[in-house]
A and B are shown apart, each in its own frame.
Chain A
Amino acid sequence: MYKYILRRILIMIPMLVLISIIVFTFSKLAPGDPFTGEFDPRITKDILDKKRAMFNLYDPPYKQYLSWLKNVLQGNFGVSMRFGFPVSDLLAERIPNTLFLAITSLIITLIVSIPIGIISARRPYSLIDYSATTFGFLGLATPNFYAGLIAIYLFSIQFGWLPAQGTITAGADYTGLALFWDKFKHVIMPASTLGLAQTAGYMRYMRSEMMEVMGKDFIRTARSKGMPERVILYKHTLRNALIPIITLLGFEFGALVAGAVITENVFSWPGVGTLFLNAVINRDYPIIMAINLIIATMVLVGNLLADIFYVIVDPRIRYD
Chain B
Amino acid sequence: MQTEPLLIIRDLKTYFYTDGKEVKAVDGVNFQIYKGETVALVGESGSGKSVTSMSILRLIPDPPGKIVNGEIIFNKLDLLKLSESDINEIRGNEISMIFQEPMTSLNPVFTIGEQIMEGLRHHHNLDKANARKKAIRLLQLVGFPRAEDIIDEYPHQLSGGMRQRAMIAMAMSLEPKLLIADEPTTALDVTIQAQILELMRDVKEKFNTSILLITHDLGVVAEMADRVLVMYGGQIVEEGDVYTIFESPNHPYTKGLLSSIPSLNDDKDRLESIEGTVPAAHEFPKGCRFAPRCGEKKLSICEEKLPQLQEIGNGHKVRCFLYERVEA
Question: Which residues does A use to contact B, with CB under 8 Å?
Answer: 215-218, 220-229, 231, 236, 239-240, 243, 313-316
Contacts and interface: CB of A to CB of B under 8 A. Distances in A.
Contacts of A236: 107, 110
Contacts of A218: 104-108
A70 B119 CA distance: 63
9 contacts: A218-B104, A220-B105, A221-B167, A224-B57, A224-B59, A226-B93, A228-B88, A231-B118, A315-B111
Interface in B58-109: 59, 61, 84-85, 87-93, 96-97, 99, 101, 104-109
Given A221-B99, A224-B96, A316 B154 contact: yes
A227 B156 CA distance: 22
Contacts of B99: 217, 220-221
Interface of B: 57, 59, 61, 84-85, 87-93, 96-97, 99, 101, 104-111, 118-119, 122-123, 154, 156, 167, 170
Contact of A226 (B61, B92, B108): B92
A240 B97 CA distance: 22
Contacts of B154: 315-316
Contacts of B111: 315
A242 to B, nearest CB: 9
A225 B109 contact: no
A226 B119 CA distance: 8
Contact of B119 (A216, A227, A313): A227
A236 B123 CA distance: 17
Contacts of A224: 57, 59, 91-92, 96-97
The residue among A226, A229, A236 with the most chain B CB atoms within 10 A of its own CB is A226
A223 B59 contact: yes
B109 A240 contact: yes
Nearest to A223: B59
B122 A227 contact: yes
Given A218-B104, A316-B156, A226 B109 contact: no
Given A215-B61, A224-B92, A229-B84, 7 more contacts: A217-B101, A221-B106, A225-B92, A225-B170, A226-B91, A236-B107, A239-B110
A177 to B, nearest CB: 41
A315 B109 contact: yes
* Shortest 3 CB-CB contacts between residues of A and residues of B: A226-B91, A225-B92, A226-B92
Given A218-B105, A315-B154, A226 B88 contact: yes
A227 B59 contact: no
Contacts of A240: 107-109
B105 A239 contact: no
A31 B89 CA distance: 75
Contacts of B104: 216-218
Contacts of A231: 118, 122
A225 B121 CA distance: 12
A105 B11 CA distance: 57
A250 to B, nearest CB: 19
B104 to A, nearest CB: 4
Contacts of B84: 229
B216 to A, nearest CB: 19
Nearest to A218: B107
A314 B107 contact: no
A217 B167 CA distance: 13
Contacts of B167: 221
A234 B90 CA distance: 22
Contacts of A222: 107, 118
A239 B167 CA distance: 20
Nearest to A314: B109
Nearest to A215: B61
Nearest to B100: A217
Contacts of A223: 57, 59, 91
A234 B219 CA distance: 41
B86 to A, nearest CB: 10
Contacts of A229: 84
B88 A227 contact: yes
A225 B108 contact: no
Contacts of B85: 228
A224 B106 CA distance: 12
Nearest to A316: B156
A225 B105 contact: no
A315 to B, nearest CB: 4
Nearest to B96: A224
A225 B120 CA distance: 10
A221 B115 CA distance: 10
B112 to A, nearest CB: 11
Nearest to A313: B109
Contacts of A220: 59, 99, 105
Given A220-B99, A229-B84, A315 B91 contact: no
A225 B107 contact: no
A226 B105 contact: no
A168 to B, nearest CB: 44
B110 to A, nearest CB: 8
Contacts of B57: 223-224
Residue among B84, B85, B110 having the largest count of chain A Cβ atoms under 10 Å:
B110
Nearest to B94: A226
Contacts of B119: 225-227
B29 to A, nearest CB: 20
A316 B108 contact: yes
A221 B105 contact: yes
A228 B87 CA distance: 10
Contacts of A227: 88, 92, 118-119, 122
A223 B101 CA distance: 16
Contacts of B109: 239-240, 243, 313-315
Given A315-B109, A316-B154, A225 B89 contact: no
A314 B122 CA distance: 25
A225 B91 contact: yes
A218 B107 CA distance: 5
